[in-house]
A and B are shown apart, each in its own frame.
Chain A
Amino acid sequence: MTGEMLTQRNLLSIEDLGRDGILEILHESETFVEVASRRMPKVPALRGKTIATVFFEKSTRTRLSFEMAAKRLSADTLSVDISSSSVSKGESLRDTLETVDALGVDAIVIRHQSSGAAVLASRWVQACVVNAGDGQHEHPTQALLDAFTLRDAIRRSRGVSAEDLSGSQVTIVGDIRHSRVARSNVLALSALGARITLVAPRDFLPVSVEGWPIEKVTEDLDSVLESADVCYLLRIQRERMADAGLSDLREYRRTFGLTVERAQRLAPHALIMHPGPLNRGVEIDSQVADGPNSLIRAQVRNGVPVRMAVLFHLLGASREATEDIGNRRG
C-alpha cells in the first residue's frame, strides 16, 4: 500500500485517495497529533521544501492551518495574496500558477472560486497540488479532518479502536447543492463505512444524486433526528435563501436549524459537527454548538495535524523523512 501511495502527487479530490489512502492519512495524522503535544511541536520532515498557499478566495482557518502545518513540518512557506498580486492586473489563473511554480516550490495549496480549478492547476504545474477548496466541487482536507475527528470521537466514546466509521449514521444538513464540504464528506465518510443521509430544502439538494454513495435524501429533518449518530451542519448563506424558496434565515432555522429543542431529540451519544464559520442562531444554536457533544472545536484543532499528514504524504514520504519524525519521538 505504501508503495502505491508514494506515487501520488496531488490531492484534488477524495476520489484520488480511496479508502486505503484515507486510512493512511488518518494514521499519519495520529503521529502528528502526538507531535503537537510535544514541548517542541515541530519535526524536520519537510526541511528544505517550500509550500505556497495560493488563495483566490477569502479564508481564515484553512489558510492558517495549512501554513501552520507546513511550518511544523519545517517547510518554508510562501503565501500569495491575490488582492496585491498580478491577478488584479488581469493575469490568468494559469499564468499566476506557472509563475509560482517557476519559483521552484514543491507544493501549491490552492483555493479558487471555480469548480475544477485545482484539477487544472495539477495539469499546469510541476509542483504537487493540494485542493484547499474549488468552487462547489470539493474540499478534501476538510473531509479528511472531519473523518479524523469523527473517528477519534467514536474511539473515545466507545473505548474501542474502531478502524473506520462502519455503522455510523451521518446526517448532513444544509445547502448541499452548493457545498464543496458536503461533496468531499459524502465521499470520504462513505468510503469509511458511514451511512449517509442528506437533509435540505429541495432546492438545496443536488439536482441529481445518481452515483452518490448515500443511503437517503429527505426534506424532513425531524424525521431523521432520532436515528442520527452524527449531525453535520453546513453553513447557510443569506443570499441563497430566495433560491430555496425561503423568505429569510429565520424560516430556515425553523425547519432546518439544529435548535436547542431539536438537539434534545437527538440520541444522547449523537455528535455535532460543522465546518465553520458558524452562523449561530441560524443553522445551529449557540448552546448546541458549544455543548458537550459538539466536535466543532476539535475539527478546527485537528486541521493542523491532518494537513501535516497530507503535506507529508505528498511531499515527504521518503524513508529519510520518516526517520526525521521518529528520531524526535520519546
Chain B
Amino acid sequence: MAEPREIIIKGATLVESNLERRADVHVVGEHIANVAVDLEVPSRVLVLDGSGCYLMPAFVDLHTHLREPGGERAETVTSGSRAAALGGYRCVVAMPNTIPAIDSAAMVEYLRALCIDTLCEVGISAAITVGRLGERLVPIREIAEHGVRIFTDDGRGVQDDELMAEALRVGRELGVVIAQHCENEVHAHGGQMHEGRWSSALGIPGQPSSAEEVMVARDLALVRDLDASMHFLHLSTEGAIELVRRAKADGLLITAEATPHHLSLTHAEVATFDARFKVNPPLRTARDVLAVRAGVADHTIDAIATDHAPHSPETKDEPFECAPPGMIGLETAFSVAYGELVARANLRVPGDLESPTIKIADLVALFSTNPARIAGVASAGPPLIATGNRADLVVFDPSERWNVRLEDIASRSQNTPFAHLDLTGRVRHTLYRGEPVVIDATAQR
C-alpha cells in the first residue's frame, strides 16, 4: 500500500475564533498530524509556503447554485466544486432550483450520485414546495431521512402564509433548517432592479425594499408564534437587517446570511445596463450596503454566503430586463469580504469609511464556523486546526493584489460583477480532506 500523502504548511499565521498564532501544520493523509512552531521538514513531504499568509479552517458556503441537473451549460457539479476550491471552500450547499427541482428523495439521490470526485463536499438542499411552485410541501420527513438538512425554495419566496407555517412546524419537529428567499411577489411587482433613484433614471421597473421587508416581517411573526427556527437567505435592505437584529435580541432562533455583492456594490452599477449587475435581491443603495456591513459587524448576520449563480454568456448578453438574475461569487467571495471589511481596500461605496472594520478572525466565523454549524457540517473543535482533525484548510495571502480576469475563472460562467477589478488578498492553497486541491491559486484537478 502506498504511503499516505504528507504536506507541511510552513510559516503561516493560524486564525480561528479569537486565536491568532504562528505555527506550521503537518498533514498526513486526510488528517492533521501535528501543529507546532518550526516543524522539521522530512524530504518526502510536500511543502506549501504560508509565509505572510493566514491559515484558516476552509470555508463553507450556504448558498451555491451548481445548476446540475438541467443547467449544465452554466455550471456543473465538477466545475462549480473547482471554483469553490479556488475560493477556499471545503463544502458548498447546492441550491435545489435545478431542472427538475430537488424536491423528492429520488432527486436527492440522483444529485448525490453526480457528486463524485468533486473538489469539495457538496451539501444537498431540497425545495420546500413541490417544483418550487409554492403550492404544496415536499415530503420533508422522507427527504430529511436521506440526509438533507436545509430546505428552501430559493429564487422564490414561499408566498403562502399557511404553507410556510406548516413548513416551519415540520422543520421544528425534525430539527432541519427552513431557509427563506425573502421576496413578497406582490410588492416586488416584477421589478428588475432596486426601486429608487437609478430605476427611475434608467427607466427599468424596480422592486422596492418593502418587498423583502414584508416577507422578513411575516416570517419573523410565524417563527415567534410557532416557536420555530429559520434561516434568512441573502438579506439586502436596511429594514430587513434591523428586523432580524431586533428579533435576535428577543431571543428568536434565527440565522441570517448576506452576500459579498450586497456589502460591496450599489444599484448605481446598473447605469451600465450590463446584466452582470442584475441579481435578486437586487443591488441596493449605499445606505443599505452600510446597513449590511453593520449587520455583519454586530453578528446580526451569521454567515457570508455567495449566492453563486452562474448563467451562460448568451443569457446575460441580453437587455437588462430580459436577462436572468444572478452573479457568480465562489472565486472572489473571501477576497471581496476581506478587502471591504478587514483591509478597507477596494472601497467603492459612498460612506464606506464610516462602517465598522472587523478582524480576520471574525471573517473565519462568517465563512467557516457559523455556516458549518448551520449546514450541519461542523467539525470537532475548537480548535479546528488541531492534531487529529480533518485537514480542511485554506491559506490566504492578504497582501496579494490580483485582477479578476475572465480567462482565469474556473466556473463555466463568467457573470462576475468584479470582472477586471483588482481585489485585495487571495486564496493561495486549499486542502480538502488532506488533498491539496489548490496550490498557488491553481486548481490541481
Contact = CB atoms under 8 A, between A and B. Distances in A.
B273 interface: yes
Interface in B193-218: 195-197, 199-206, 208
Nearest to B320: A116
B203 A120 contact: no
Interface stretch (A131-139, A229-237, A305-313): A131-139
B253 interface: no
Given A116-B273, A119-B273, A207-B206, A94 B200 contact: no
Nearest to A118: B273
B314 A92 contact: yes
B53 to A, nearest CB: 39
A115 B319 contact: yes
Contact of B204 (A92, A112, A135): A135
A114 B320 contact: yes
A115 B203 contact: yes
A155 B200 CA distance: 33
A116 B196 CA distance: 17
A157 interface: no
A: contact size bracket? 20 to 34
Contact of A137 (B203, B206, B272): B203
B20 interface: no
B318 interface: yes
Interface string A15-34: 00000000000000000000
Contacts, number: 68
A208 interface: yes
B420 to A, nearest CB: 14
Contacts of B321: 114-115, 135
Contacts of B272: 119
Given A116-B273, A119-B273, A207-B206, A93 B319 contact: yes
A250 B317 CA distance: 42
B340 to A, nearest CB: 25
A40 to B, nearest CB: 41
Interface in B253-276: 272-273
Interface of A: 92-94, 112, 114-117, 119-120, 134-138, 177-178, 180, 183, 206-212
What are the 6 A-B residue pairs with the smallest beta carbon separation, nearest first? A116-B273, A136-B203, A114-B319, A206-B200, A137-B203, A115-B203
Given A119-B273, A120-B273, A177-B200, 20 more contacts: A92-B314, A92-B318, A93-B318, A94-B317, A114-B320, A115-B320, A115-B321, A116-B319, A120-B317, A180-B203, A206-B200, A207-B196, A207-B199, A207-B200, A208-B197, A209-B200, A210-B197, A211-B201, A212-B200, A212-B201
